Amino acid sequence: MIVVACPGQGSQTPGFLSPWLELDGARERLEAYSDAAKVDLITHGTVSDADTIRDTQIAQPLIVAASLLTWHALGDAARRAGGIAGHSVGEFAAVAAAGVVSDETAMYLVGERGRAMAQAATEAETGMSAVVGGVEADVLAAIADAGLEPANFNGGGQIVAAGSLEGLAHLAENAPRGARVIPLQVAGAFHTRYMGSAVDALRTAVATVTDVSAPATTLWTNSDGSVVTDGQRALDLLVGQVSSPVRWDLCMQSFADNGITGLVELSPAGALVGLAKRGLKGTPAVAVKTPEDLEAAVALLNGDAA
């Protein structure tokens, strides 16, 4: 079983969409996605600098649009995947690819999410840090001791802590034994209680969506790694996810339990393949960073990979 994975925020780099615009129909798709999200994705994906595309309200639609472009570029091979999942904001690409909502609806929702989370991040000075290594129980105890919350359980010995800047500084100064604390370049404490106002905003946006279908393929949720079979529940989980931890570790465990034989990460790829190398050791994986990687991804999806 080949799993398709959609990356989350932080995977974008300046100009990364430029080569994708050379594909037939890509520019037209991005124009439609831009209209839906109310973000100029072509400009931000080709010429905007790193600081600009780090802005949450730009980064989130940009990442989801790139994943959807990749999904369509894979063509019929994508439909041979055994299932799909997304990390954090990547779940919006996953629900669209699974047929729960249209691409344009997913882009509308992620546009609303990005703006709401950017606004929520201004309400308090907060941030996030990755804690790599150490014993999980010790890491969680240190996070709690610093007054922080675990925001991402990424698997492979990586947990992301989030909360006040003071708490993050305390954690860095009192790193658990065998662990490194790495500050992340994000606007606020995503996937924590600090995002409460964004939850309300996204819930309001989701309530306007009427055309919802059951997933056409296996769809895992990063709320707990389970399979979602009801389209409306999939959207409700996207709402709750804004202030709840991302459990990518449980997703990878579900992939393993379901007999994963390969993983294809959609653009802007790299982070989830990196986690798979540690959490799904020995599993063949392809990171689709540019259109040049499509051939290898198609081969893996078709069972033709060496």
Candidates 117, 101, 120; CA nearest to 58 is 117
* pLDDT at residue 170 in the model: 97
pLDDT (0 to 100) of residue 305: 56
Assign domain 126-183 to its CATH architecture.
2-Layer Sandwich (3.30)
Q: What is the DSSP string of 213-263?
A: ---SSEEB-TTTS-B---HHHHHHHHHHHTTS-EEHHHHHHHHHHTT--EE
Domain limits of the chain?
Answer: 2-121+192-302, 126-183
Q: Which pLDDT score, from 0 to 100, does residue 285 have?
A: 96
Instruction: Quote the pLDDT of residue 169.
Output: 97
- Dig out the tokens for 3 from the structure: 């799993």
pLDDT in tens, 258-282: 999 999 999 999 999 999 998 999 9
pLDDT in tens, 215-227: 999 999 999 999 9
Query: Residue 97 corresponds to which tokens in the numbers above?
Result: 């690819």
Beta pairing partners, 84: 4, 219
Above 80 in pLDDT, residue 10?
no
* Mean predicted lDDT score pLDDT of the chain: 95
Averaged pLDDT, 218-242: 97
Fold of the CATH domain 2-121+192-302 = Malonyl-Coenzyme A Acyl Carrier Protein; domain 2 (3.40.366)
Q: What is the pTM of this model?
A: 0.94
CB atoms within 10 A of CB 210: 6
Catalytic site residues? 88, 191
Given a cut of 90, whether residue 238 has pLDDT beyond it is yes
pLDDT of residue 60: 96
Q: At CB < 8 A and 24+ separation, what contacts does 287-292 make?
A: 288/70, 288/74, 288/264, 289/16, 290/19, 290/20, 291/19, 291/20, 291/22, 291/23, 291/73, 292/19
Q: What is the pLDDT of residues 27-52, one digit of tens each?
A: 999 999 999 999 999 999 999 999 99
